[in-house]
Structure 1
Amino acid sequence: MKEHQGLKKAVLGATFCGVALLWTGCRPTFDEPVRDTTGEGGEPGAGYTVQCSGWFPDWIARSAPPEGEQSFQLAQGYPLGIPVAEGGEITGWEPFEATTSASWLNHDFRQEAQRLDYLEALKQYVLEDLAPYDFVPQNEALSGKTHWYHVPMMTSGFFPREPRHGLTEERGLRASEQSWLSADAGAYGIGLYNKLGGYTVGQVFRHPDPMQAEPGKGQFIDGTVVVKVLFAEYDPSSIVGPDPLLHSPAWQIQAPDDSSGDTFEVRLLQMDVAVKDPRSAETGWVFATYVYDESLPAASPGDRWYNLTPIGLAWGNDPDVTSNGDPDLDENWINPSVPSPFAGMTGKHGRLNGPVDNPESSCISCHSTAQVNEELAGTGVFMPYKGAGFIPGSSCSEQEKMNWFRNIQGSEPFGITTQNTGFCGLTNPPRPTPPVYPLDYSLQLQLALALSKGLGHPNPCLGTIPSEHLPENNRLLIQRQVTLGAMPANQLEKRSTRGKGSSVRRLESGLPSWEQLGMYAELKKGDKEEGR
C-alpha cells in the first residue's frame, strides 16, 4: 500500500504526442507504474496484483513479475486530437484529418500486380517503428516516427493480458490443422493502433470509469492502421520435420492465473495488419496477413522480425462464393508463395486466414461482427452484449453461415443472433439500429467493452488517479481554456520514463506545466506526418 498511497504525489504526463510544428495533447500517464492488490477481475479483494501506469490497468496477475524483470505497460497516452486555439488559448479539440500521403497509398491493392508492393509497404510501416524495440511502443520516442497504442480493459475475463508482454490467449493451434505439429499448442497475441487509431480508442474510453465508455464513438479515421502479432507456444518436441520457427523472435510470458510466476516461451508465428483504406468500397478496410518464414535470411544479425512473408490480402467477404475452389474470389487474394508449412491454410472457401485463425471463418468475416448491444450494458452478460459470435455455429445451415460473409461498412452493425436458433439466425436483419453500436471492425474494442461494460468488471486503477487528473476536474480534458504561450524547443528538457535510453520531453518549471495543461506538449521540427 505504500506505493499506492505515494501515487498521488506522482508527476503524470502523456507520451509521444508531437507532430510536425504542432502542439498536441495526450491522455495522462504515470512516469512510473504503481502496483497494488486487487481481486481476480479487478474488483475489491486480494490474491492478485494490478499494475497501473495511467487511467487503466496494465495487467492483473496472481503473481507479479519481480522488479527489474520484463513487465508490460499499456500504451494509453491516447492523443486528444488537434487543439483549437483562440488568442493563444485552447478552446477545444478536433479529430485528426485522414491520412492522404501514406506509403501504402502509392500502391493500388485492387490491381493484382501491385498487391505485393502494398503488402510490403504496410509491413515496413509497422516494423520500422516497433521491431527495433521488441514491439514496446513506449520506446518509440527513440525513433521519433509513428505513435502506437493498446486497447485498455483487456485485463479480466476469459483470456486477460499476461503481465510480461501484455499478450492475450488466442484460438489455440491444432495439430489436426497444422501439418508441422504433433500436439496442440497455445497461441497468444497483442494488438496496437497507430496515432489515428489511438485517437478513436481514447474517444471510446474518454473516462477512466469503463461504465462511462462511449461505443458510439468507435469509428476510425481513414489511415488508421492496426497491427497484431501472434505467437505460438514453443515446444520443439512437438514439431514434425524442419522447425518453421527455429530462429523466430521469442518472448518469455506467464499465465495471469498461475501463482508460481513461471514463464514459458512463445515464438512469432503470424502478423495481421488492418488499414482503413478509402479505396475499399466493400468494407472500408483492407486486411493483410503475414506468416513467419524461416527460409528467409535475417534482415540483420539477430533480427528476424522482418522474416514475414505475406499470406494475402482481403478487402471484402466475397459474399457470392459458397463452395471450395470457386474461381470467383475477387475480394480476397492469396499469395502463391506462402512458406510450405503454412500453405493452403485459408479460411472458408479459400478466403484469407492465417494459421492461428479458424478455417470456418476469415479475417474480414470475423471482424465484421464487432459491435455491442448497449441495452445490456452492466447486466453481467457476455455473448448477448456482443450480439453475435465471431464465427457461425456448427449447427447453422450453409445459408445461415453466409450471414457472416456479407459486405458491410464499419459504421453498420453486424446484427443480433438469437439463442433459440443456435445463435444462427439474425433478428432485425440485417442491420439493427442503436442501442446496437458498430465498432468499425475492431474486435479489441468489442472485447474491452464486453469485459468491462458488459460483464461489469471494474477498473482497479480508478482509486489511484489523483482527483485533479480526472476528466471532471481536469481543465484540458473538459476543454476549458488554457493558456499555452510560447514554448521554444530549447526550453524543454528530457526525462526518462521507461528503460535505458527511453525519453520524452518534459516542460521545465516556469513554463505551463502538466498540472496546468493536463498534458505534455512536444515540438519536433524534424517529424514527418503520421502517414509518411
Structure 2
Amino acid sequence: MFIRRFCLGLGGALFALAAHAAAVDPFADHNGIVPARADYNGALFLLSYHYPSGLPAPAMPWRSAIHARQISVQNARYYVAALKDTVAKDMHELLQDYDSWDPDRRGWYNDPWLGAQREAIHGLSVAVASVEPALFPRSRLSKPFTTYTVTYYNKTAAQTLGKIWGTSAMSPIVDQASTQYAEGSITVKLAFTTADPSVWPAMEGALVWPAMVTANATTGQFDEPTLHGLRLMQVDVVVKDTQSAPRTGWVFATFVYDRDAREGANGIWDKMVPLGAQWGLDPQVNSAIDPDAPLRESWINPRAPRYAMETLGWGGRLSGPNDHGKNDISFVDDGTRRLVRSAGNTACLSCHGTSQWNANKQGMPSFILPLAPPVGGRGSPYLNSPAPGSVEWLRWFQNRPGNVPMDEGSIAGDFDLALTFRVLPAWQQAMTGNAHALQSLDASGKKIERVGAETE
C-alpha cells in the first residue's frame, strides 16, 4: 500500500509521497498491448518526458500577424493562420512520417502517468466513448463513433510540466507558481474518430493512423484490443498569449479535416482548416435569452466544413466535433423538469476553465460541463444541469486568468485540463491503489470501460 501525505505550503498545495511498497512507472509509454508484427511493423509510441528548463521566450509570429494588437473577430483568421504555420513542419512529420518522428529532437513532450490509458502505436487515449449520429444530421453520420486523442506540449510549455513533476514525477508540486505556463507555450491535441467514410462521408480521404483500439462505438467492440484505422478529424492548437488575449491569457484554435481542401507541400496538414478560435467566453452574452446575440470572443470560420458546424457550443461558441459541445441535458425551469436533446452546453474555454485541483477534495470541485446535483435520480441518462443562462450555469462562462480558480480553495491549473482531469487523478490512483472517480469518465461524463494492463 502507498502512504499519501498532503502538505500545505505558503504557495499552495505540495503533494508528497511519503513511502511506497510497490514499483510504479510514471513514464510508462503505453498499456503494453502491442500489435502482431505481421500486422504492424512500424514505430511504437515512446513518451517524451525530458522536460527542459530556463528557456528564453520564443518567437511569436502569431502576434506579428495581428500587428501586436489584441485578437478580435476581425483579425482572428490571420492569427490562426500564423499559429498553424508555426507548427506545420513538426505536424507534417508527426502525421505522415511517424517512423522518423523524434519528439525530443523536435521539442515536443507528453504528460506522465497516462501509460495505462495509452494504446501502443501512437499513445492515443479514449476521449469520448460514444458520439451519437443525432449530433450530425446534416453530414449523414450513420453510426456512433469513439474519439481518441494525444496531446503534445512544445518546449516552452514543457518547462511547466518539469516544474510540476520534476525528474521522478512521484511527488508533484501543485501550487500557484508551478502550474502557470510561460508566454508562447503551445499544446497540440490530435483527435481521431473510429468512423470511416462508409459510415461518415465527411471522413473521405482523411489521414488514417493504425491504433490498438480498446473501445469502438462504430463496430460495437468494447473488449479485446484490435488493430484499427482511425481517421484524423480535429487538431486543437492552444497558445498562452496574455498580450493578445489579456482576459484569459489563452487563445484556443481548432482545425478540422476538410475533404474538399487542397493538399499542398505540408500534405494532410493543408487539409486541416480552421473551424475557429476562442479567447474568451463572452460573459456579457446570455445566449439563453438571446441565442443569436453576436459573440466578440469567438471567431467561427464561415467556410469550415458542414459537419464541424454541427457541434458548436452554447450560443455558437467555439467547440469542435471532438469537444462534446452539445449534450442531452436535464434541468428544472419554473418548477418543471425539462429534457433537451443535443443542447449546446459548453465551449473550449468553459471546459478548460474548470482546470483546478483541491487537495482536501482530492480532485476538481466542478466538472468540466455544467452539472447540478441530481434530484432523486431524475434526468438520467441526460446530464443533470443548471438551467441554461442561470447564475449557476454562468459560472462556467466567466473570463478568468489562468491563475484564478473557478472554485475557492483550489489551485488554478492555467487552463491545462489534462493536468487536473486526467494526470493528477492517474497519479493519485497509482499512489493509493484506489480507483479515482475521474479516471472512469470520458470528457462527456460517460463511463469508459478500459481494457489493458494497469500501471502498478
TM-score, shorter chain, exceeding 0.5? yes
Note the 1:51-450 alignment, pairs <5 A: 56-61=27-32, 63-66=33-36, 68-79=41-52, 81-82=53-54, 96-99=55-58, 101-108=59-66, 110-134=71-95, 139=100, 147-156=107-116, 160-171=117-128, 172-179=130-137, 180-210=140-170, 212-216=171-175, 217-239=178-200, 243-255=201-213, 261-278=225-242, 279-300=244-265, 303-323=267-287, 325-359=291-325, 360-377=345-362, 385-393=363-371, 394-398=384-388, 399=390, 400-415=392-407, 432-433=408-409, 436-450=410-424
CA contact (8 A) 1:173 1:185 kept: yes
SS in 1 for 2:143: coil
Task: State the distance in 1 between where 2:422 and 2:165 align.
Answer: 10
Seen in structure 2, the aligned counterparts of structure 1 residues 135 and 154 have a Cα distance that, compared at 3 Å, is: farther
Residue 261 of structure 1: CA displacement? 4.5
Task: State the distance in 2 between where 1:142 and 1:263 align.
Answer: 24
Residue 110 of structure 1: CA displacement? 2.3
Kindly provide the CA deviation profile for residues 420-441 of structure 1, in whole angstroms up to 9, marking residues without a partner as x.
Answer: xxxxxxxxxxxx14xx211100
CA contact (8 A) 2:180 2:413 kept: yes
CA contact (8 A) 1:164 1:253 kept: yes
- Corresponding letter in the other structure for 1:225: I
SS in 2 for 1:299: coil
- Corresponding letter in the other structure for 2:400: I
Kindly provide the CA deviation profile for residues 271-303 of structure 1, in whole angstroms up to 9, marking residues without a partner as x.
Answer: 1111001221110001111110100121149x3
Residue 369 of structure 1: CA displacement? 0.5
CA contact (8 A) 1:170 1:189 kept: yes
CA contact (8 A) 2:35 2:227 kept: no
CA contact (8 A) 1:288 1:314 kept: yes
Choose between structure 1 and 2 for higher RCO, CA contacts under 8 A separated by at least 6 residues: 1
Kindly provide the CA deviation profile for residues 491-512 of structure 1, in whole angstroms up to 9, marking residues without a partner as x.
Answer: xxxxxxxxxxxxxxxxxxxxxx
Residue 396 of structure 1: CA displacement? 1.6
Residue 127 of structure 1: CA displacement? 2.2
CA contact (8 A) 1:152 1:448 kept: no
Task: State the distance in 2 between where 1:142 and 1:407 align.
Answer: 33
TM-score, structure 1 as length reference: 0.63
Task: State the distance in 2 between where 1:450 and 1:280 align.
Answer: 27
Kindly provide the CA deviation profile for residues 436-468 of structure 1, in whole angstroms up to 9, marking residues without a partner as x.
Answer: 211100011113443334334579xxxxxxxxx
Residue 325 of structure 1: CA displacement? 3.2
Task: State the distance in 2 between where 1:192 and 1:142 align.
Answer: 9
Unaligned stretches of 5+ residues in structure 1 = 1-42, 83-95, 378-384, 416-431, 460-532
Task: State the distance in 2 between where 1:78 and 1:135 align.
Answer: 25
Seen in structure 2, the aligned counterparts of structure 1 residues 280 and 338 have a Cα distance that, compared at 3 Å, is: same
Seen in structure 2, the aligned counterparts of structure 1 residues 307 and 182 have a Cα distance that, compared at 3 Å, is: same
SS in 1 for 2:357: strand
- Percent identical residues: 28
Task: State the distance in 1 between where 2:324 and 2:310 align.
Answer: 13
Residue 370 of structure 1: CA displacement? 0.6
Residue 361 of structure 1: CA displacement? 0.5
Seen in structure 2, the aligned counterparts of structure 1 residues 259 and 176 have a Cα distance that, compared at 3 Å, is: closer
Kindly provide the CA deviation profile for residues 105-135 of structure 1, in whole angstroms up to 9, marking residues without a partner as x.
Answer: 1123624443212111111112211322328
Task: State the distance in 2 between where 1:345 and 1:127 align.
Answer: 26
Seen in structure 2, the aligned counterparts of structure 1 residues 137 and 103 have a Cα distance that, compared at 3 Å, is: farther
Task: State the distance in 2 between where 1:139 and 1:102 align.
Answer: 27
Task: State the distance in 1 between where 2:414 and 2:237 align.
Answer: 15
CA contact (8 A) 1:252 1:264 kept: yes
Task: State the distance in 1 between where 2:295 and 2:241 align.
Answer: 20
SS in 1 for 2:81: helix
Residue 410 of structure 1: CA displacement? 0.6
SS in 2 for 1:59: coil
Residues paired across the two proteins, number? 361
Residue 345 of structure 1: CA displacement? 2.7
> Quick check: which has more Rg, 1 or 2?
1
SS in 1 for 2:238: strand
- Corresponding letter in the other structure for 2:319: N
The aligned residue for residue 26 of structure 1 is: none
Residue 136 of structure 1: CA displacement? 8.0
The aligned residue for residue 496 of structure 1 is: none
- Corresponding letter in the other structure for 2:57: A
Seen in structure 2, the aligned counterparts of structure 1 residues 204 and 256 have a Cα distance that, compared at 3 Å, is: farther
Residue 173 of structure 1: CA displacement? 2.5
Task: State the distance in 1 between where 2:257 and 2:411 align.
Answer: 35
The aligned residue for residue 23 of structure 1 is: none
Kindly provide the CA deviation profile for residues 88-113 of structure 1, in whole angstroms up to 9, marking residues without a partner as x.
Answer: xxxxxxxx3433x3111112362444
- Corresponding letter in the other structure for 1:104: W
Q: Which moved more, 1:122-131 or 1:110-119?
A: 110-119
Note the 1:506-517 alignment, pairs <5 A: none
